[in-house]
Amino acid sequence: MMNQEDIYNNVVRIVSKHAKDTEALNSINPQTHILNDLKVNSARLVDIVLDFEDTFDLEISDDDADRIATIGDAVTLVKALKN
Amino acid sequence: MARRVVITGMGVVAANANNQLEFLDALRAARSGLRFMPELEDLGFACQVAAIPKGLEAALATIPENIRLATNECMSYATIAALEAYKDAGLEPAPGDQPDDTTGAIIGTGIGGIDTLSLRVVPNVRDKRVKRIGSTVVEQIMGSGSAARIAGLLGLGNQVFSNSSACNTGTEAMIMGTQRIQLGLADRMLVGGTEGSDPHIWAGFDSMKVLSRKFNSDPEAASRPMSASAGGFIPAAGSGVLVLEDLETAQKRGVRIYAEIIGSAINCGGMRAGGTMTMPSSSGVQKCISQALKAAAIDPRAVDYINGHLTATIADPMELNNWSVALDRKPGDFPWINSTKSLIGHSLGAAGAIEAVATILQLHYGFIHASRNCEDFHPDIKDFVRHVPQSTQNVPLQIAAKASFGFGDVNSCVIFRKWSAS
């Protein structure tokens, strides 16, 4: 069973792989905006969501995926789906 | 008068070298990159030898992770070769948001991202899991994937695309880039070809019985161009990329120039007069070479060296005779000729570009690498044997010819002259 910290660390690990602005990773936090702050190519959100599904063993609907903007949004969604 | 086009940078990834310096050393030593492949044996291939680059981890680590995740094998070879060629030409990606509008890229492939298709697209579609394919597949299977990847890394603002003409692709890309510079549409073009190593690419060739199948226990002997025992080519992977540049632009930058492209031609035999989808028409090949020589405005006797297409199939003797007719030079008066494929196999769409790098290195440094595995020279071309080096020869060279031929009866030929400031 993953706790909040495990979920956060995994979300950061998965999103970080796609960051174009790697400098911004130094100050990553729950408020960090995936597209605006990390400059992730918006097309890659699809791959990030697939990686969440594999890592956390869950299914994320398109509507839920569309609501992910920040690292914190992703953590909250994963936590909700796991409970 | 058309602008003059010179080569100012080269990069290469092949089975016997991961960069230009290693390639120079490997050519001089006639080092083989051919290896036995247990995977091909397991899969029931008749040919169980291949020539695949290895040890590229450090080069790949220089590509940012977010890009690497969307870069398959075929694209990664092209990317490594292009970054090396660009640096070799003394260039750096322009800082800021402005692309370099004077520079473009033509990076072709004969087959392309079949590994991505076979590993990610086919299984997921077959299992009705399309959602699982992800966002990076399209850019890895689109024909222009490698050219697009390179353009993004370097910020190229001129025309960026990929050509495809089977095993003719790499040489054709070089000629198309030359023409674009000559027309004044670009000052600089990165040109070349790339190919991955997936068994799904090679299965069709194996089934056609055009791959070498009798030397699985002696892999380095398996690619045998011009030999009596040649029984097909060895499948290979890799990439070659060259920086072509308008002469005045290069001279203004004060950069080292390797060679000038003084003539070239592209044609198709039209699958007439003996030409088919899989065999070249001799008259088409001869016409292509003649047109390149005419464009170069040189006496055919000035050609010192030919880097042949020479794949180790039944077409080898025909190729030598075609060169002889087109150059109007009999065996006693023939230039040096060798087959780089004897060292690194046949990398299809990448072959012409990798072999162009080999040709220019030999021209620049004055040597001709040994053509391996033809000690039992083919009897139909025995009169040419003394023009095929069995060991590497140090020879000053001025003019070299490179040709490639591909399925579809397509041909291309380039004439290079060693650069001399005078």
| pLDDT number for residue A2 | 81
In percent, how much of chain A has pLDDT > 70? 99
Which residues in chain B show pLDDT less than 70?
A: none
| pLDDT number for residue B14 | 98
Q: Which residue of A has its CA nearest to B153?
A: A20
Q: The tokens of B108 are what?
A: 């072709």
Helix (H, G, I), strand (E, B) or coil at B13: strand
Token look-up 């003649």 returns: B290
| pLDDT number for residue B2 | 85
| pLDDT number for residue A83 | 79
Strands B188-195 and B103-108: parallel
Crossing angle of helices A71-82/A45-56, nearest 10°? 40
Residue type, A37: D
Which residues from B are below 8 Å from A23, CB to CB?
Answer: none
Residues B261-282 pLDDT 10s: 999 999 999 999 999 999 999 9
Which residues from B are below 8 Å from A46, CB to CB?
Answer: 134-135
The topology under which CATH files domain B5-253 is Peroxisomal Thiolase; Chain A, domain 1 (3.40.47)
Q: Is the pLDDT of residue A1 over 80?
A: no
Residues B215-264 pLDDT 10s: 999 999 999 999 999 999 999 999 999 999 999 999 999 999 999 999 99
Of the residues B346, B364, B369, B378, which is catalytic? Answer: B346
What architecture (CATH level 2) is domain B263-418?
3-Layer(aba) Sandwich (3.40)
Token look-up 């004044």 returns: B184
Length of chain A: 83
CB contact under 8 A, B136 and A22: no
ipTM of the modeled complex: 0.88
CB contact under 8 A, A18 and B135: no
The DSSP string of B322-383 is: HHHHHHT--GGGPPEEE-THHHH-B-GGGHHHHHHHHHHHHHHHTEE---TT-SSB-GGGGG
Which residues from A are below 8 Å from B131, CB to CB?
Answer: 50
Å from B124 to nearest chain A CA?
13
| pLDDT number for residue B126 | 97
Helix (H, G, I), strand (E, B) or coil at B231: coil
- The reported pTM is 0.96
Which part of chain B has CATH 3.40.47.10?
5-253, 263-418
Q: Testing the interface with B: which of A13, A18, A40 to mutate, by most B Cβ within 10 A?
A: A18
Of the residues B47, B309, B369, B387, which is catalytic? Answer: B309
B74 is catalytic: no
Cα angle B19, B25, B27; round to 5: 95
B346 is catalytic: yes
Q: Does domain A4-82 have CATH number 2.40.50.840?
A: no
Domain range annotation of chain A: 4-82
Selecting from A20, A45, A46 the residue whose C-beta is nearest the C-beta of B66 gives: A20
